[in-house]
Amino acid sequence: MGEKRSVGHQSLVYIFLIGPMIALAAAVPFAWTTGLLGVTDIVLALVFFFVTGHGVTLAYHRMLTHGSFKANRPLKIFITILGSMAVQGNPIGWVADHRRHHAFSDKEGDPHSPWLFGTSPWAITKGFWHSHMGWMFQRNNTTNVQRYCPDLLRDKDLVRVSSLFWLWTILTFLLPAVLGGLITMSWMGALTAFFWAGLVRVSVLHHTTWATNSICHMVGERPFKARDKAANVWPLAIASFGESWHNLHHADPTSARHGVLKGQIDTTARLIWIFEKFGWATDVKWPSEERIKKLTIERDEARAAA
């Protein structure tokens, strides 16, 4: 465990988790009653969702946490900044939490397992809340970054990007507003872009990531051998950029591709493939057919595990 969060730090957690969520809750009635949702807002929201979401899946998760590939210095810095703009915490802290999750997955010590309280209906409900977002509101549920991320703490680029997390947070809300204002040449365009491509987009991205921690450890298919309850949940595949093929990920954490079966969409893996073709990514850990076959469990076993 890490040090207890300060009151100031915990207050910021509340602000940047609950603030965008309030905007998300207000989004439908806001659009319905005011009509203030234009093409510019939708396009900007989708673009920022795509680039900042892939920043998390590419940089935070597959590159920094698991070493699924190595990126050249410009790409490493760029995609890590994009991940920071998803407002899910600075990269080193995020990676520390996720490495601790894998070290104790669905057992005592896992920072966000839904199975820590039992299997009764109330325990499962409590576990869902805890794994989805409740764990972030606990001041004592912190991770020792020195223990889990000594490699990242030695990387001056990553330390610098992490120290500027406040700047990337400002930019992720400011840039959509500026672009919306410039495109529409109006203050109202700036305001609606801030709301939709800033606040609402961040909240949707938050819940998409959190759903991997909660839903993908509770329900879904388990065709591969893993030591926990991680499961594949296909409805989340597109929005999560391939992260919801979670059973394979926990069976083979360093794999650069999570969607390894036919028809499984994994845009994060596709981007890694493109980066590799351009020479920007090296040492990519692609799963071999032999490896996938070894991890695959028989159909009857898969049904029993589901």
Is 60 exceeded by the pLDDT of residue 219? yes
160 token code pair:
């610098």
> Are 36 and 192 within 8 A, CB to CB?
yes
**Per-residue confidence (pLDDT) for residue 193, from 0 to 100:** 97
* Paired strand residues for 71: 281
Q: How far is CA 299 from each of CA 59, 158, 231, 250, 288, rounded to the nearest angstrom?
A: 34, 43, 15, 19, 21
- Asked if the model's pLDDT at residue 183 lies above 80, the reply is yes
Look at residues 256, 197, 213 and name the one whose alpha carbon lies nearest to residue 51: 197
Of 100-109, 134-143, 196-205, 281-290, give the lowest mean pLDDT range.
134-143
Q: Is the pLDDT of residue 303 over 80?
A: no
The yes-or-no verdict on residue 120 having pLDDT over 90 is yes
- What does the block give as tokens for 171? 């930019």
The sign of the CA dihedral 176, 45, 60, 72 is negative
Q: What is the pLDDT of residue 300?
A: 45
Q: What is the pTM of this model?
A: 0.91
Q: Which residue has the tokens 């234009």?
A: 38
Amino acid identity for residue 301 in this structure: E
> For the chain, what percent of residues have pLDDT higher than 70?
94
Rounded to the nearest angstrom, the gap between the alpha carbon of residue 19 and the centroid of all alpha carbons in its chain is 18
Mean pLDDT of the chain: 93
Backbone angles phi, psi at 275, to 5 degrees: -60, -40
Whether 100 has a pLDDT exceeding 80, the answer reads yes
Could you write out the DSSP letters of every residue in the chain? --PPPPHHHHHHHHHHHHHHHHHHHHHHHHHHHH----HHHHHHHHHHHHHHHHIIIIIIIIIIIT-S-EE-HHHHHHHHHHHHTT-S--HHHHHHHHHHHHHTTTSTT-TT-TTSS-SSHHHHHHHHHHHHTGGGG-TT----HHHH-HHHHT-HHHHHHHHTHHHHHHHHHHHHHHHHHHHHTSHHHHHHHIIIIIIIHHHHHHHHHHHHHHGGGTSSB--B--SS---B-GGGTTTTTTTTBHHHHHHSTT-S-S--STT---HHHHHHHHHHHTTSEES--PPPHHHHHHHB--HHHHHHH-
Residue 178 to residue 181: CA distance in whole angstroms: 5
Characterize 30-57 residue by residue with b for buried, 16 or more Cβ atoms within 10 angstroms of its Cβ, and e for exposed. bbeeeeebbebbeebbeebbeebbbbbb
Residue 1 has pLDDT above 70, yes or no: no
Domain ranges of the chain: 7-305
Half-sphere exposure of residue 119, counting CA atoms within 13 Å on the CB side? Answer: 3
Mean pLDDT of 59-81: 99
What confidence score (pLDDT) does residue 258 get?
98
Q: What is the mean pLDDT of residues 180-184?
A: 97
Q: What is the pLDDT of residues 234-262, one digit of tens each?
A: 999 999 999 999 999 999 999 999 999 99
Whole-number Å distance between alpha carbons of 96 and 164: 18
User: 142-174, pLDDT tens digit by residue?
Assistant: 899 999 999 999 999 999 999 999 999 999 999
Q: Among 110, 133, 148, 54, which Cα is nearest to 250's?
A: 110
pLDDT band at residue 65 under the 50/70/90 scheme: very high
Rounded Cα distance between 211 and 205, Å, is: 10
Confidence of residue 55 (pLDDT cuts 50, 70, 90): very high
Q: What pLDDT is stored for residue 3 in this prediction?
A: 61
CA-to-CA dists, residue 37 to 19, 192, 294, angstroms = 19, 7, 49
